[in-house]
Amino acid sequence: MKRSWLEWLHKRDPRATRMLAVVAVIAVAVAMVMVGCGQSGQEEVTGRFRADLRAYYGAPPVIPHPVEALGRGNCRACHEQGLIYQGQVAVARPHPYVGECRQCHVEQLPVEPKVKNSFVGLAEPERLPRAYPGAPPLIPHETRMRANCTACHGPRGHPELRTPHPRHWTECMQCHVRPEPGVEPPVVNNFATLWEATR
């Protein structure tokens, strides 16, 4: 394509061309996921797999698929709203827009480094015990860079993380809270023991 209406459009409103690029790339990306899934079978992506994409808990996940050929805008095509196709989940971006996705998330080529690395990374946190059965679960992980709960816990999140009550998803933090790590309450609370006793 020579400089033509695209450039004209860009001059009038750069955001319009950006939108256009996003739309164009959505089409390409959907097509690719379709082709890709055709080859890779219909396995559900598990939580374990997700953790494996990080060097340690808190590290940005690497990108488990090729991206470079797509150019700019491709990430947002699938990861802006989130996308599920034949069991493969492209989660929505859980954190605010920072300009360049690939400044933290990088593609991995199937090659092995010449030198081994003996780093031992922090594990993902375990689930936290509920106050009583049926009580809202506590948030076991950091919420920084994860402010958009629905990215993972909404209907287009990973299967085992999806909320069972998607209708009340607007204010997650009104029921689910993040206990400050390492902080113990100054006064012992006997509720849990009492609850056990009544059963």
Partner 1 sequence: MAVTRREFLGSTLAATAAATASTSLLVSCAQQQEDLKRIDLSGVTWKKGVCRFCGTGCGVLVGVKDNRVVAVQGDPENPVNRGLLCVKGYHAPLILYGADRLTKPLIRRNGKLEPASWDEALDLIATRWKEIIEKHGPDAVAFYGSGQWTIEEGYAALKLMKACIGTNNIEANARLCMASAVMGFMTTFGSDEPMGCYDDFEKADVFVCWGNNSAEMHPVLFSRMTMARETRQGVRLVDIAPRRTRTSEVADLFVQIRPHTDLALANGIAYLLVHRGYIDREFIEKHVVFKRGKTDIGYGTEDGFKFKDQPERITFDEYVAFLDDYKPQRVAELCGVKVARIEELAQIYGDPATKVVSLWCMGVNQHVRGTWMNNLIYNLHLLTGKICKPGSNPLSLTGQPSACGTVREVGTLCNRLPADMLVTNPEHRKKAAEIWGIPEEKIPAKVGYHTVEMFRALDRGEIKSIWIQVTNPAQTLPNASRYIEAMKRPDTFIIVSDVYPTETTEVADVVLPSALWVEKTGLYGNTERRTQHWEKMVDPPGEAKPDVWQIVEVARRMGYGHMFDFGGKPLEEGLFEEYRKFTLGTGKDLAPYEVYKRVRGLRWPVVNGKETPYRYVEGYDPYVPKGAGISFYKNKKDGGRAVIWARPYEPPAEEPDEEYPFWLTTGRVLEHWHTGTMTRRVPQLYRAVPEAYCELHPDDARELQIATGDLVRVVSRRGSLQLRAKVGGRGTPQRGMVFIPFFDEEKLVNLLTLDAFCPISKEPDYKKCAVRVEKVG
Which residues bind to partner 1, rule: CB under 8 A?
14, 28, 31-37, 39-41, 45, 48-49, 52-53, 55-60, 62, 64-66, 68-72, 88, 96-100, 102-123, 125, 142, 144-145, 181
By C-beta, is 142 or 175 nearer to partner 1?
142
**β-bridge partners, 150:** none
H or E segment and range at residue 84:
strand 83-85
Q: How far is the CB of 12 from partner 1 (least distance, A)?
A: 12
CB of 183 to partner 1, least distance (A): 14
Residue in 132, 138, 137 with CA at minimum distance from that of residue 199: 132
User: What is the rounded CA–CA span in Å between residue 125 and residue 143?
Assistant: 13
Minimum CB–partner distance for residue 28 and partner 1 (Å) = 6
Which one, 123 or 187, has the nearer CB to partner 1?
A: 123
Q: Work out the number of other CB atoms within 10 angstroms of the CB of residue 76.
A: 19
For residue 62, which of 49, 47, 76 has the smallest C-alpha distance?
A: 49
Least gap, CB of 3 to partner 1 (angstroms): 11
In the DSSP assignment, the letter for residue 59 is: S
Closer to partner 1 by Cβ: residue 23 or 194: 23
